């Protein structure tokens, strides 16, 4: 027990790293996924296929391979990356961790939002067209807000998965909760105490995030509750 209390500041710092990495990846991934999902449902295959290939690759391979491909794999292109001035970025485990998590969540979220867009009732789109909306206005006002409401529960799951998947960045030496737990455990040999504590930290964060996302879902669907009241 003392070992956990002694290392509590390090654990709190690690919680912050985990939340930070997850939050940055989720935010950038979300901003990528919305336009990508619109392109994904595009009728012209020349636009939709590249997006489909991107999502297919990132959904079909383990995240660990993607992290290794970016972190260790970039070493094979050291000279080229150095020439264009990106080598410093790819040397940093933190950058590679965020990059791979972002691409991964962007791929999963694109497919989730695609499902949402395709789930928008045809009548609503017809009604918007009849009101004279088209193109970006139709997407901005009608399709995207409706698709987000439809896709929100699945998107919540995706965020939870990403939060848990962020534990993999400890393998490339980022000091998140799992990384700190691993280091303290190998030094002190208190394996089960430390890992159980790490597991408890994750559970608290996961159910905390779940609670926040449920609140957002209630807000998004507030108009539905108003009818019942």
Partner 1 sequence: MFDLEGYGPLLLYGAKLTVYVGVLSMAIAIVLGLIGMLGKISASPVVRFLVNTYTTVIRGVPELVLILLVYYGAPTLIQDISLLLGHPVYISLNPFVSGVLTIGFIYGAFSTEVFRGAYLAVPKGQVEAARACGMSTALTFRRILLPQMMRFAIPGLGNVWMVLIKATALISVIQLPELMRSADIASRNTKKPFTFFLAASLIYLGITIISNILQQWAEKRAGRGIRKA
Residues that bind partner 1 (CB under 8 A): 56-57, 60-66, 68-69, 72-77, 164-168, 170-171, 177-178, 181-182, 185, 189-192, 195-196, 198-199, 202-203, 206-207
Nearest approach in angstroms of CB 118 to partner 1 is 17
Nearest approach in angstroms of CB 14 to partner 1 is 12
User: What gap in Å lies between CA 115 and CA 124, rounded to an integer?
Assistant: 16
Kindly tell me the burial class for residue 60, based on how many C-beta atoms sit within 10 Å of its own C-beta (0-12, 13-18, 19 or more).
Answer: exposed
Please say which residue, 154 or 220, places its beta carbon nearer to partner 1.
154
Please say which residue, 183 or 220, places its beta carbon nearer to partner 1.
183
Please say which residue, 4 or 220, places its beta carbon nearer to partner 1.
4
193 close to 139: Cβ distance less than 8 angstroms: no
DSSP codes, 198-220: HHHHHHHHHHHHHHHHHHHHHHH
Please say which residue, 138 or 190, places its beta carbon nearer to partner 1.
190
Please say which residue, 64 or 137, places its beta carbon nearer to partner 1.
64
Please say which residue, 87 or 195, places its beta carbon nearer to partner 1.
195
Nearest approach in angstroms of CB 77 to partner 1 is 7
Tokens of 84: 């264009």
Tell me which long-range contacts 28-33 makes (C-beta under 8 A, separation of at least 24).
28/98, 28/102, 28/106, 29/101, 29/102, 29/103, 29/104, 29/105, 29/106, 29/109, 29/162, 30/109, 32/102, 32/106, 32/109, 32/110, 33/105, 33/106, 33/109, 33/110, 33/112, 33/113
Nearest approach in angstroms of CB 11 to partner 1 is 13
Nearest approach in angstroms of CB 30 to partner 1 is 21
Nearest approach in angstroms of CB 76 to partner 1 is 4
């Amino acid at each position: 027990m003392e070992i956990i209390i002694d290392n509590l500041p390090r654990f709190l710092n690690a919680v912050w790293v985990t939340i930070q990495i997850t939050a940055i990846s989720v935010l950038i991934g979300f901003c990528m996924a919305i336009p990508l999902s619109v392109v994904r449902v595009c009728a012209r295959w020349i636009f939709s296929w590249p997006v489909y290939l991107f999502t297919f690759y990132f959904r079909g391979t383990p995240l660990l391979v993607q992290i290794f491909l970016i972190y260790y794999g970039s070493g094979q292109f050291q000279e080229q990356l150095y020439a264009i001035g990106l080598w410093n970025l790819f040397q940093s485990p933190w950058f590679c961790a965020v990059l791979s998590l972002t691409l991964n969540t962007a791929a999963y979220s694109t497919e989730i939002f695609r499902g949402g867009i395709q789930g928008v009732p045809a009548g609503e789109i017809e009604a918007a067209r009849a009101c004279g909306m088209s193109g970006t206005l139709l997407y901005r006002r009608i399709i995207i807000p409706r698709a987000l409401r439809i896709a929100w529960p699945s998107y919540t799951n995706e965020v939870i998965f990403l939060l848990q998947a962020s534990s993999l960045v400890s393998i490339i030496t980022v000091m998140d909760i799992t990384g700190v737990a691993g280091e303290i455990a190998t030094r002190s040999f208190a394996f089960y105490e430390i890992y159980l504590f790490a597991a408890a930290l994750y559970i608290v964060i996961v159910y905390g995030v779940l609670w926040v996302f449920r609140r957002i879902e209630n807000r998004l669907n507030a108009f539905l509750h108003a009818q019942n009241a």
